[in-house]
Structure 1
Amino acid sequence: MHETSFVKAEIFLQTYGDDFAQTGVRVLEIGSKSYDAQNTYQPLFPHPRFAYTGLDIEPGNNVDIVPMNTFVWPEIADCSFDLCLSASTFEHNPFFWVTFAEIARVTKPGGLALIIAPGAGHVHRYPYDCWRFYPDSWGALCSLTGMELVESYFETDKIAAANPENFWRDSAVVARKPKLSGVDLDAFHSRLQKIVSLFVDERPPSQIAPERHGKWVEAYEHFMQRKYPMTLSRMISKAIRRPSKIYRRV
């Protein structure tokens, strides 16, 4: 997890503190495994004010739950957590919409979800690197699952230019589970069950794209290299040219 992701979560807790004023706020972090050079959100949730739970697809430091099914979590009951959050995991998740649906299910009515994922950056497989998220990604996910979109964000050019780490161009959403009960809540969960139904009894295989190019890619790259040869003058021009904006509002 990079620094700006942690800062976003820290400021989220400051600005939405009224939602977590009680003691024993139940928090679930998805993708919680801690590595030597990687922090998690766990330090933001001290006991006893928060009851923090870490979920990951493999055991390790800061992991409390390793679900038997990577994408569907029968180990966790409906409406279990006041806050669910995840950082820098959705890009590695081949079927992130299923995970978002499970987040919606295990969040309490009125509870919040904070998801942060890159909108740019280089390929970094672990073991997959499948997606980047633009602003409308979050609206689509909320429409699919019935979650309420409270806020969404895409790292601006100004902020990105101020910090070299911001080449990831963080994209983020704050979503709230509707305050439903009774038959309305049952209907909400039934919709989520339809979204995840394919993944309940099976895990569709994910394929890693081969690094070796086929004849079409080789032909295309050969054509482009002939049309735009990287001469010395072009290399110098490219090196000193001001980088173009990654994202523009239209």
Structure 2
Amino acid sequence: MSYEFDPSLKKYQQNPATWGAKDPRYRQANTHDLFREKLKAMHQPRVLEIGVKRSIPDRPTIHRGWAPHASSYIGVDLEDGLDVDVVADIHELSHHISPNSIDALLCISVLEHVERPWVAACEIAKVLKPGGWVFCATHQTFPIHGFPKDYWRFTREALESLFSPEVGFADVTSFYAFPCDIRAEEASDTWQHFSFLHASIVARKERDPKEWVLR
């Protein structure tokens, strides 16, 4: 999929927020809504969400309300805490969650903190049932933040590469949200192009990952 700059949009180049509203490539199906539609259509799904521990006790981050019809909703995090059912490292997710056992998986504001996201994508593929769906939301542009470390930022192309057919995924839809303008006071004349706070993807597991995919 190509995102080469369209010359007809040149007048929007200095204002990414305006560009985001005008560019048809940006106005694709919202992954948030698309995933919720897929989730709603499932009969008593087994749902897993990664990265659910509350950093602020009275502010839950788990999205259990998205699936009130779930037969089970499993919260996974690297550390124990509120809303955490299973303590597990995403790099070893299939060691803690049975392979081919999950109908829908959410991974929100997590992937940027994962040291090896390509391994995480494979582990997600392993635990999903064939035909199961994943929703992953992360950042294309965002201030550095911990919890416990901050490693990556992702374009749509990067997410599509992680959740690719080689890893076992199909019907991939990616999306940008919250256009922003990045400027440094010390270099205000720096060339500007598009930036977005959020990047996300929805994909369906078609088969298990190929053995060589992590090489």
Shift of 1:99: 1.0
The answer on whether the counterparts of 1:139 and 1:149 sit within 8 Å (CA) in structure 2 is no
Match for residue 122 of structure 1? 143
Closer, same or farther: CA 170–65 of 1 in aligned 2, 3 Å:
same
Match for residue 169 of structure 1? 197
Superposition pairs of residues 46-85 of structure 1, within 5 angstroms = 46=68, 48-67=69-88, 71-73=91-93, 74-85=95-106
Normalized per residue, the structure richer in helix is 1
Give a deviation string over 1:152-208, Cα, whole Å, max 9, x none: 001263xx59xxxxx862100001011x5xxxxxxx34x2x55569xxxxxxxxxxx
Match for residue 150 of structure 1? 172
Closer, same or farther: CA 105–19 of 1 in aligned 2, 3 Å:
farther
What is the aligned counterpart of 1:107 among 124, 128, 142? Answer: 128
Closer, same or farther: CA 19–150 of 1 in aligned 2, 3 Å:
farther
Match for residue 53 of structure 2? 33
Closer, same or farther: CA 131–97 of 1 in aligned 2, 3 Å:
same
Matched positions, count = 169
Give a deviation string over 1:76-118, Cα, whole Å, max 9, x none: 2211110011110101111111111110011011110000001
State the distance in 1 between where 2:133 and 2:169 align.
9
Closer, same or farther: CA 106–11 of 1 in aligned 2, 3 Å:
same
Give a deviation string over 1:118-146, Cα, whole Å, max 9, x none: 11011102221111110101221123412
The answer on whether the counterparts of 1:142 and 1:149 sit within 8 Å (CA) in structure 2 is no
Normalized per residue, the structure richer in strand is 2
Letter in 2 for 1:151: T
Letter in 2 for 1:103: I
State the distance in 2 between where 1:17 and 1:28 align.
12
Whose RCO is larger (CA < 8 A, sep 6+)? 2
For structure 1, the 5+ residue unaligned runs are: 1-7, 162-166, 181-187, 198-250
Between Structure 1 and Structure 2, whose CA radius of gyration is higher?
1
Overall identity of the aligned pairs, in %: 28
The answer on whether the counterparts of 1:89 and 1:117 sit within 8 Å (CA) in structure 2 is yes
Shift of 1:70: 5.0
Letter in 1 for 2:202: V
The answer on whether the counterparts of 1:154 and 1:172 sit within 8 Å (CA) in structure 2 is yes
The answer on whether the counterparts of 2:113 and 2:151 sit within 8 Å (CA) in structure 1 is yes
The answer on whether the counterparts of 2:40 and 2:67 sit within 8 Å (CA) in structure 1 is no
State the distance in 1 between where 2:90 and 2:163 align.
21
What's the TM-score, normalizing by structure 1? 0.60
State the distance in 1 between where 2:34 and 2:137 align.
11
Indicate whether 1:15 and 2:43 are aligned: no
State the distance in 1 between where 2:71 and 2:142 align.
33
State the distance in 2 between where 1:29 and 1:14 align.
14
